[in-house]
Amino acid sequence: MRIHAHSMICALGLTALISACQPSDSSQLQDENAVTYNCAPIPACDAKAPDPGALRPWSSKKPSGNAWHRGHDQYFKVGEEQWIIGKFNYGNLLARKDLKGEEVDIYLLRGCGDSWEKLGTAVTTNGGGDTIEGIPDDGGRLYFPIPADKQLGVGRHRVRLVVAGDHSAAELFIEVVPEGVPLFVSDVDGTLTTSELAELGSTISGSTPDANDGAAEALKGLVTKGYRPVYLTARPELSVQRTREFVAERSFPQGRIETSLASLVGLTGGKAVAYKSEALNRLVDKGFEIAYAFGNTDTDAQAYENAGIPSESRYFFKYSDKKFGGQRIESYRELNQFASLEGVCQ
């Protein structure tokens, strides 16, 4: 069943919810439970960045060029091991060098409140380590397991990763999701933007691409009913911040943004299918329900089929999926029915 009521949440996840909603110490998110998580507005999480303190010496040679750091958003189930993951390199758009063996301070805005705490310090990798949460260690990575006594509670959290040597930084968002909260997934280019290449032109001009009429309202309709968004794009990893800005500036609901690990140009064809399929199946394997999916190409259609998302729950903008099935829409205004769903919030 793809639509859950409050009673289903309690029946399916009572034990997890009780432990999540009764903090064991001051580090646990306060006054939080599944119902308020589902039905409360997604917080802005826009507090001023923390004071990183004094610069510290580099372990080796000071890097040159611009910083191209990025963080990886995550959704975790209650009780799951929680990881903070980032990537750090310097240079120019066409040639970048990974930052290896350098300290990065990790700051947390727990529950999207107004008070930052320092979780610890990690050292960027040299490469060749394990793949964690689907992110292989290709050097310049940060993998930080959140300590048991500082575990994140149910809700949305902002993380800021600050390089000790120059205070350049990357950010990411983590949400801890209780049982019974369904997700929806959406492609970005051509699905939410007005064309497949809208981002390219906007990057050159320094603007944000326009969004398809009614798209933000349709996705907001799902969020008000207790669904959580995953923006799954084949854009390269460097585009995560641009994608985050698009979501915010075009008034889409905040959620998890996941980009491919491509270094410069986004994935297409079979590579895009493989990336999206793997990303979706990781969520499914964790026990997340993906209730709806939005796309506009055959690669989206194939990935959604590979992830087992029911065809009646797939919506394609000006694209007909004749191979696997799905609903073609000419306008997001056709999806006004989302506002009347029975979802977890009434």
Report residue 265 as tokens: 């140009």
Task: Answer yes or no: do 150 and 201 share one domain.
Answer: no
Task: Answer yes or no: do 187 and 232 share one domain.
Answer: yes
Task: Answer yes or no: do 189 and 327 share one domain.
Answer: yes
Task: Answer yes or no: do 129 and 270 share one domain.
Answer: no
CA–CA distance, 257 with 234 (Å, rounded to integer): 11
Structural domain count, the chain: 2
Evaluate whether residue 46 is within a structural domain. Answer: no
Which pairs with CB-CB distance under 8 Å and at least 24 residues apart come from 106-109? 106/144, 106/159, 106/160, 106/161, 106/162, 107/50, 107/52, 107/159, 107/160, 107/161, 107/162, 108/150, 108/152, 108/157, 108/158, 108/159, 108/160, 109/45, 109/47, 109/157, 109/158, 109/159, 109/160
Evaluate whether residue 96 is within a structural domain. Answer: yes
CA–CA distance, 148 with 72 (Å, rounded to integer): 21
For the stretch 204-236, pLDDT in tens is 778 899 999 999 999 999 998 899 999 999 999
Instruction: Supply φ then ψ for residue 168, to 5 degrees.
Output: -65, 155
Instruction: Say what the pLDDT of residue 24 is.
Output: 37
Evaluate whether residue 13 is within a structural domain. Answer: no
Task: Answer yes or no: do 234 and 267 share one domain.
Answer: yes
Report residue 206 as tokens: 């320094």
Task: Answer yes or no: do 147 and 227 share one domain.
Answer: no
Instruction: Supply φ then ψ for residue 143, to 5 degrees.
Output: -125, 115
CA–CA distance, 116 with 155 (Å, rounded to integer): 16
Q: What is the pTM of this model?
A: 0.88
CA–CA distance, 74 with 173 (Å, rounded to integer): 7
Task: Answer yes or no: do 108 and 205 share one domain.
Answer: no
> Residue holding tokens 């390269």?
236
Q: Could you give the dihedral angle defined by the CA atoms of residues 155, 182, 305 and 1, in that order, rounded to the nearest 10 degrees?
A: 160
Instruction: Say what the pLDDT of residue 13 is.
Output: 31
Task: Answer yes or no: do 106 and 203 share one domain.
Answer: no
User: Could you say which of 112, 144, 177 is where a domain stops?
Assistant: 177
Instruction: Say what the pLDDT of residue 34 is.
Output: 54
Instruction: Say what the pLDDT of residue 338 is.
Output: 76
Ranges of the chain whose pLDDT falls below 70? 1-36, 38, 339-340, 342-344, 346
Instruction: Say what the pLDDT of residue 36 is.
Output: 65
Domain that holds residue 73: 66-177
Report residue 141 as tokens: 């990575």
The CATH number assigned to the domain holding 132 equals 2.60.40.10
